Amino acid sequence: MLSQTSPQTPPPPYQGLLARYGSLLELPPHTTPITLLEGNTPLIPVPRLAADMGGGFELFVKFEGLNPTGSFKDRGMTAAISEAVGKGVKTVICASTGNTAASAAAYAARAGVRAIVLIPEGKVAAGKLAGAVAYGAQVVQVQGSFDDALSLVVAISQKHPIALVNSLNPYRLEGQKTGAFEICDVLGSAPDWLCLPVGNAGNISAYWMGFKQYDELKNTGLPRVLGVQAAGAAPLVLGHPVEKPETVATAIRIGRPARGEQALQAAEESHGQIIAATDAQILAMQKRLAAEGVWVEPASAAGLAGLAEHIRTGALNPTGKRIVAIVTGHGLKDPDIVTRDLRPTVLPAELGALEETILR
């Protein structure tokens, strides 16, 4: 149940995730909060989309694209940067398909420290690259995949005083647990199913940790977890690394997920599953979600694309269930995917021509 606040007593101002949930996160005492007031994202009911999938169940999307840098990465980044800066770190580094880079760059800027981001050459969406540059990070393109870039940043952070802020950093997961807390706080309990995209597998691992912790504390129950990879980058479904991952969902174009084992464990423990969705299914779901007014980047639609297919084939019976889909990043991150085939109607600036075009 949502709590009601009387108009005379406005709620205290929102101060970000560490202020709200810090006591539930395993962060060292030296942690010094660096925040952009991330989190607190809306859980939007999408009944028409549920009806399209056959109906008879409740469906919500948690719109993580409304975080300060446009993706869920800000949850983990506030924790990781706060810990690093509190320890006296002056430089942070990450490998990224784009969103982690933009988030690390923003939080490093907020803290006044240096950020270096390694991205796979030519495979990062425009809005993410622009973000990393705008926030002042040093952007390095690697002639290789995300997995190659991750190996490099792990090696350099072991050799030099540079803090790694990929989700191998345990504090990233601590921060990302808060997504699970928020869902339980809004719904009053965990949903029956949680579906979300899987790339490097940090987020699915963090959500499962968060739901388990909240259940122990508050008896909120546990969801079954449906993780969805892109079919061309589905090592956890195939059971082996993918050397040359390919997908239109560049955010999850990852062949060797760093948290792969933990993700498989989350799926197993929760009696869920990790499945794959094709690029066509992902793009169709991106379009379908936009028709609800929720525009997300392709990767963010993967969870729902997998859910729809699982329901269609009868692998998942949603009847009477409450399902939450994490939609991880904003559509503005990857404008090209939408505009690449755009042929706008061009008219002379005349009323008659406009009438002819739109009233026909």
Q: How many residues does the chain have?
A: 360
Binding part of the chain for ligand F0G, among 5-13, 90-98, 108-116, 342-350 by CB under 6 A, reads 90-98
Which distant-in-sequence residues (6+ apart) come within 8 Å of 343 by Cβ? none
- 68 interacts with ligand F0G by CB under 6 A: no
Strands (E), the chain: 43-45, 58-63, 91-95, 114-120, 138-142, 163-164, 193-197, 224-230, 273-277, 322-327
- 93 interacts with ligand F0G by CB under 6 A: no
Are 203 and 326 contacting, i.e. CB atoms less than 8 angstroms apart? yes
- 98 interacts with ligand F0G by CB under 6 A: yes
The residue from 41, 67, 97, 157 that contacts ligand F0G (CB under 6 A) is 97
Min dist. Cβ of residue 211 to ligand F0G (A): 16
- 252 interacts with ligand F0G by CB under 6 A: yes
Total Cβ atoms within 10 A of residue 175: 31
**Closest CB to ligand F0G among residues 82, 96:** 96
The residue from 199, 232, 245, 260 that contacts ligand F0G (CB under 6 A) is 199
Binding part of the chain for ligand F0G, among 14-22, 23-31, 200-208, 306-314 by CB under 6 A, reads 200-208
- Cα 331 to Cα 120: distance, rounded to the nearest angstrom: 20
List the x/- string, 99-138, binding to ligand F0G by CB under 6 A. Answer: xx--------------------------------------
Are 320 and 57 contacting, i.e. CB atoms less than 8 angstroms apart? yes
* Geometric angle at alpha carbon 229, from 321 and 18, rounded to 5°: 70
Taking CA atoms, 21 is separated from 43, 175, 208, 324, 348, in Å, by: 18, 9, 16, 21, 56
Taking CA atoms, 4 is separated from 9, 180, 184, in Å, by: 11, 22, 17
Binding part of the chain for ligand F0G, among 152-160, 185-193, 194-202, 317-325 by CB under 6 A, reads 194-202
- 300 interacts with ligand F0G by CB under 6 A: yes
- 70 interacts with ligand F0G by CB under 6 A: no
Q: Which residues here bind ligand F0G, judged by CB under 6 A?
A: 71, 73, 96-100, 167, 197-204, 251-252, 297, 299-300, 328-329
